[in-house]
Structure 1
Amino acid sequence: MTSQAFFLFFIFLLFFLLISEGTEYELKSKEEQLLEKISSLEVKVGILENQAEMRSKVIKDVIAKEIAEIKTALEPLNEKHRKLSEDVATLKAIKINKTVESTHAVETDNDPVIAFSAHNPTRSSLSIGQTFVFGSVALNEGNGYNSSSGEFTAPAGGLYQFSVHVCNGGGKHVASAIVHDDTYVAYSVQYQPSGSSCSSVNALLMMTPGQKVLVKCTYSTWFTEDQYRRATFMGVLIHKTA
């Protein structure tokens, strides 16, 4: 190889080495840039994560604070609601008691005890149209029965029940009728050829205060009354309406 050729070879080799070093440097430079970018991204991601955590914590704190404030604001309302509930319960109890008392008062007022029972006719015989007068009074609640006239006058309006029981001797008639303000509403006639017998008559009547009920003779009558037989006239208020 001539000297000239050797020189040219040396120049070519040197040029090749320079090119190789430049390429390697360029590759290393790009790798370093990528690594720097990755590191930068990791830092940014970390910052974002920290910010997200901080924001989440701030949001949680704000929510917790608002909840606490709402609870504090509701405490007076809850106390008012509790007191109102107690007041309502008290008023309901008072109302129930008053209703019970009122109902009891109404029931007591609507159903007074009005009843009478009389016996022992003042006469042993009567003619048609005469009034049976029972002179002995065993019961007279409400003072409706008059033992002098034989009349019962209703102290209160309502539904009444009346009953008459009379006895006759042998060969005698006993005839009675319950009369409501001059209206004959129930009748009974009893005759016994021998010995004696008794008969009863009953009536349910709606009466207004002041109306009268009595017993009248509807046929010539003879009473029999002794220790085994008793003539009676009785009545009772079943239900008050006025």
Structure 2
Amino acid sequence: MYAALKMSATQKMLLLVCVGVSLAHDLITPEQLKNIEARLKATEETVKELKRENEALRILAKGSSDKLESIEAENKAKKVAFSAGLLASGSQQTGPFNTRQTLVYKKIFANFGNAYDSSTGIFTAPVNGVYFFRFYAHAHPTNQMAVSLHKNNQIQCSVFSLRHESNANGSNGVVLSLDRGDQLFTQLWEKSWVYDDDYSYTSFSGFLLFQL
């Protein structure tokens, strides 16, 4: 009895659905159906167009971001300058040695771009460009003083004083065209001395003039 009632209810529901579909079909004319289909197609095309525009905007945004990062990196690379004294503090004679020794300048006044390494005394060019370098050396009486500026392993310029009767000071400077990775440093000649104290008589400086 219950099963029969259940089936009867299901059949009634199916009958109502069929009637509703039939009524809906009778109410929508073929012309209206075409219009609905056209609107659906137009909506699909609009969605596709929006997707294409979103992809184009994404690519444009990425390109702008990459260009901004490139400009920022270029501007950062332009900020290259350092200046350092030989001793971080105190006073001291450096030398003489039996062989030439790279001078390691410990007192950092400025090091924009971090191209100068205070643990080695070496400046490494971060970008291709034209640079200016200057170095100063000081020695007490009767001590030979000789210092050279090297680009990689080639001497560029030097200062020298021999058997001076009073304190000796020497300085030299040069403009150099460097490739990225080129190294600049000063060396104290064998059997030579330099002196430095809190007044930083012996120093090394350099900066980028312009990129190439």
Shorter-chain TM range is 0.5 to 0.7
Change (3 A) 1:142 1:229: closer
| Number of residue equivalences | 140
* 8 A Cα contact 2:85 2:200, kept in partner: no
Residue in structure 2 matched with residue 116 of structure 1 by the alignment: 82
* Moved segments of 4+, more than 6 Å: none
Q: For residues 133 and 203 of structure 2, what CA distance do their matches in structure 1 show?
A: 11
Q: For residues 203 and 240 of structure 1, what CA distance do their matches in structure 2 show?
A: 17
Q: For residues 76 and 128 of structure 2, what CA distance do their matches in structure 1 show?
A: 10
Residue in structure 2 matched with residue 22 of structure 1 by the alignment: none
Q: How does 1:13-52 map to 2 (within 5 A)?
A: none
Amino acid paired to 2:84: A
> Higher helix fraction: Structure 1 or Structure 2?
1
2:91 counterpart of 1:125: no
Give the greater-gyration-radius structure (CA): 1
Residue in structure 2 matched with residue 209 of structure 1 by the alignment: 180
* 8 A Cα contact 1:189 1:199, kept in partner: yes
Q: Which deviations, in whole Å up to 9, do the C-alpha atoms of 1:136-163 show, x marking residues without a partner?
A: 1110001000111100011111000111
Residue in structure 1 matched with residue 47 of structure 2 by the alignment: none
Amino acid paired to 1:125: G
Secondary structure at the aligned position of 1:172 is classed as coil
Q: For residues 83 and 179 of structure 2, what CA distance do their matches in structure 1 show?
A: 20
Secondary structure at the aligned position of 1:156 is classed as coil
**Which structure would you say has the larger RCO, counting Cα contacts within 8 Å and 6 or more residues apart?**
2
- TM-score under structure 1 length normalisation: 0.52
Q: For residues 198 and 87 of structure 2, what CA distance do their matches in structure 1 show?
A: 14
Q: Give 1:179's match in structure 2, choosing from 150, 154, 162.
A: 150
* 8 A Cα contact 1:177 1:201, kept in partner: no
Amino acid paired to 2:159: S
User: Can you give the 5+ residue segments of structure 1 that lack an aligned partner in the other structure?
Assistant: 1-101
Amino acid paired to 1:178: L
* 8 A Cα contact 1:110 1:240, kept in partner: no
* 8 A Cα contact 2:145 2:193, kept in partner: yes
* 8 A Cα contact 2:101 2:190, kept in partner: no
Q: Which deviations, in whole Å up to 9, do the C-alpha atoms of 1:213-236 show, x marking residues without a partner?
A: 000123422222235561100000
User: Can you give the 5+ residue segments of structure 2 that lack an aligned partner in the other structure?
Assistant: 1-67
Query: Identity of counterpart residues, as a percentage?
Result: 23
Q: CA deviation at 1:191?
A: 3.0
Residue in structure 2 matched with residue 140 of structure 1 by the alignment: 111
Amino acid paired to 1:117: S
Amino acid paired to 1:184: I
2:186 counterpart of 1:225: no
Residue in structure 2 matched with residue 26 of structure 1 by the alignment: none
